[in-house]
């Protein structure tokens, strides 16, 4: 199946690894892995982590092959000095950019042309000491917002900030090398997500567009795209079982 990806259009692909159990399909996923991926896959101690990794790699490889006539097993990847994955140069003239994230029971892969992109998904049922974490990794105004809420609302607000911050640092390709307290989000108006930066932080808030939305009731997804806020960008969300081609608009 060939999918057309237009400029300033983001495709988000979603899969649920716990629903993928067919032995033949899992063997097909194993056949896609590179030698390095096979080594990493085999190093996971727990079966659920091996399974999640296997499905993640199958998702990324099969999704990329929806756009270009390259076999899923043929893709080669590189990582930058901070560990962000990308396509190895020279495989296609199509300027595909992608990012992937996973949490318990859900995996997402975001694809766009040209622009830097980051995605994060979190399960809202995770239990954390949210105030302790927020104090450690949020900007002061973000922490104060979480702390001002009643205990039953703090966890959801924490994940609203956390997913956006994760998506942003992944889009920048620098991960936790970026100081998390030097940039802050405003989430009180979900339809107008906004980022701001400390004076000594080198970035431009108008150069970024963000999305955030709940998914399947218990998940929260955030996307960061380095494109001006004035640019009209479309977002398409699909659910998929890798290699089965069972796509449906989510």
Question: Would you list the DSSP string of 149-187?
Answer: S-HHHHHHHHHHHHHHHHHHHHHHT-GGGS-GGGEEEE-
Question: What is the span of the domain harbouring residue 167?
Answer: 121-210
Residue 247 — very low, low, confident or very high, per pLDDT cuts 50/70/90?
A: very low
pLDDT (average), residues 69-84 = 94
Shared domain check, 26 and 95: yes
**Residue 217 in domain:** no
141 and 155 co-located in one domain: yes
CATH number at residue 166: 3.90.470.20
Question: Do 69 and 189 belong to one domain?
Answer: no
For residue 245, what pLDDT is reported? 62
Q: Are residues 59 and 101 in the same domain?
A: yes
Say what the pLDDT of residue 20 is.
Answer: 96
Same structural domain for residues 87 and 132? no
Are residues 92 and 173 located together in one domain of the fold?
no
Q: Are 11 and 93 within one domain? A: yes
The structure's pTM equals 0.94
147 and 245: one domain?
no
- pLDDT of 250 over the 50 cut: no
Q: Which one has a higher pLDDT value, 175 or 163?
A: 163
């Amino acid at each position: 199946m060939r999918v057309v990806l237009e400029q300033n259009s983001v495709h988000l692909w979603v899969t649920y690894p716990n629903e993928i159990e067919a032995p033949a399909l899992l063997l097909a996923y194993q056949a896609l892995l590179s030698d390095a991926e096979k080594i990493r896959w085999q190093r996971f101690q727990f079966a659920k982590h091996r399974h999640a990794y296997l499905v993640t790699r199958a998702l990324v490889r099969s999704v990329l092959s929806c756009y270009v006539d390259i076999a899923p097993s043929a893709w080669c990847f590189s990582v930058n000095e901070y560990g962000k994955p990308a396509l190895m140069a020279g495989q296609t003239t199509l300027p595909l950019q992608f990012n992937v994230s996973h949490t318990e029971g859900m995996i997402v892969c975001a694809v766009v042309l040209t622009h830097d992109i980051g995605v994060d998904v979190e399960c809202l049922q995770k239990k954390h000491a949210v105030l302790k974490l927020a104090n450690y990794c949020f900007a002061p105004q973000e922490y104060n917002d979480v702390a001002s809420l009643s205990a039953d609302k703090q966890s959801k607000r924490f994940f609203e900030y956390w997913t956006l911050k994760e998506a942003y640092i992944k889009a920048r390709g620098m991960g936790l090398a970026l100081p998390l307290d030097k940039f802050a989000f405003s989430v009180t108006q979900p339809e107008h997500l906004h980022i701001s930066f400390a004076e000594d932080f080198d970035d431009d808030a108008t150069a970024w567009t963000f999305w955030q939305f709940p998914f399947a009731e218990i998940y929260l997804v955030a996307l960061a795209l380095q494109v001006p806020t004035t640019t009209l960008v479309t977002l398409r969300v699909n659910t998929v079982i890798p290699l089965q081609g069972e796509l449906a608009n989510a």
